[in-house]
Structure 1
Amino acid sequence: MLPEVVFVLGAPGAGKGTQCSHISKEYDFVHLSAGDLLREERQRPGSEYGEMIEEKIRNGEIVPVEVTCSLIHKAMQKSGKSRFLIDGFPRNKDNLDGWDRVMSDKTKLLFVLFFECSRDICTERCLGRGAAGSGRSDDNLESLQKRFNTYINDTMPIINHYDRLGLVKRINAESVPEEVFQDVKKVFDGAGLQRIAN
């Protein structure tokens, strides 16, 4: 059986990570954040990609897709599980093409979970996260401007692409996390995904 995948997309600060941790507790999905995997790889001693990843992240640019796909694939194999939330990926056409080339025959895409949230709210959340010591080199105003531009120019066309295929589930991410998760549960229950029995 092919591993099942849900892509989780939304602007920086839309609450993707928060919602993914709720989903993985309730529905037995493994949460893989493309950004976290890249940040871990960057810090791994002797990583051949570390320096390049650091530079891309700092400039709000997107890391080459082969690197990201190989890190995602390794993490999937290592987990021994069969259901995955892939958070913050695919973020541009290159990511999408790379995934289709490298991973589409190794996985089954269930749907794309899209968290919609205004730029103002997202910015406020990211700056708050940075001020609270998120340890992320990109939670500052300058990097955020770049990340938003990347999101609008590169990621929105991907969401529109999946929308045309009827695969996008939109969630209003502007309210408090608990309320947002109620809407997320409707999507997962509606897709017939079973909850973990307590």
Structure 2
Amino acid sequence: MTAPKILIMGPPGAGKGTQCSNIVDAYDVEHITTGDALRSNKQMDISDMDTEYDTPAEYMDAGDLVPDQVVNAIVEKALNDADGFVLDGYPRNPEQNEELDSMTDLDVVLSVSVGNEELLDRLTGRRVDPETGDNYHVKYDMPDDEEVRERLIQREDDTQEAAENRLDVFDENTKPVIESYHDQSEFVEIDGEQSPDDVWTDIKQAIDEQTDA
């Protein structure tokens, strides 16, 4: 079969990163995120867009948000350069959703659904090893090494207040995008509160059915 074009959506803490890795391995597609696309194309000439800077890098170096029109152009280039892809982290709002509709035809739209109570438990319990970057969880996955356990830290965006804010932003901006796909034939909702292996089983089945693999 031709390489599938997949959009995966879901709130922070839904486990999209793990499942994107599975999709990449199983279907030999590219994992496209806005962050990776921006970093790969940060010297892209955007002087024709009448923006403050002439390259995305200048926005990033200044610590400013890259305008939507620039993000849209970079995502479109990344999609066009890929034979197949799993797109993650875009679109984040209805305006970006309209742009995506004009860029490509999607084979599968996956929505990984997890309740807010579970999401907060996952996010606020997450800990990071500052030396290795490895992620752990105080309830589900702590390292055996006592030395490692003692140096684990909580990221600032994983505090209760920050996590609640991230979910509020998702509900306000991105949830309407997911809802706009509900009636489309390529849309599949996935129960993200299952084990990661069970979530992957459902995702693979959905992709195979949608692409007639």
Same fold (TM over 0.5): yes
CA displacement at 1:75 relative to structure 2 = 3.1
Q: Distance in 1 between matches of 2:31 and 2:60?
A: 22
Tell me the number of residue pairs that the alignment of Structure 1 and Structure 2 aligns: 179
Distance 2:190 2:14 in 1: 10
For residue 6 of structure 1, what is the amino acid of its counterpart? I
Equivalent residue for 1:107?
A: 104
Aligned to 2:109, what secondary structure does the other structure show? Answer: strand
Structure 1 residues 36 and 46 mapped into 2: Cα distance closer, same or farther (>3 Å)?
closer
Supply the distance in 2 between the matched residues of 1:147 and 1:23 (Cα, whole angstroms): 25
Match of 1:89 in 2: 90
Instruction: Give 1:144's match in structure 2, choosing from 163, 168, 178.
Output: 163
SS at match of 2:157: coil
1:191 partner SS: helix
Which runs of 5 or more residues in structure 2 are unaligned? 44-54, 135-154
- Alpha-carbon distance, 1:83 to partner: 0.7
Gaps of 5+ in 1: 57-62
User: Within 5 A, what are the aligned runs for 1:1-198?
Assistant: 5-38=5-38, 40=39, 47-50=57-60, 54=63, 64-77=67-80, 80-100=81-101, 104=102, 106-133=103-130, 138-192=157-211, 194=213
Q: Which has the higher contact order (CA 8 A, sep 6+)?
A: 1
Q: Identity, % of aligned pairs?
A: 31
Query: Which moved further from structure 2: 68-77 or 113-122?
Result: 68-77
TM-score (structure 1 length as normaliser):
0.74
Distance 2:100 2:83 in 1: 18
Question: CA shift at 1:175, angstroms?
Answer: 1.7
Q: Distance in 2 between matches of 1:5 and 1:121?
A: 29
RMSD of aligned Cα (Å): 3.2
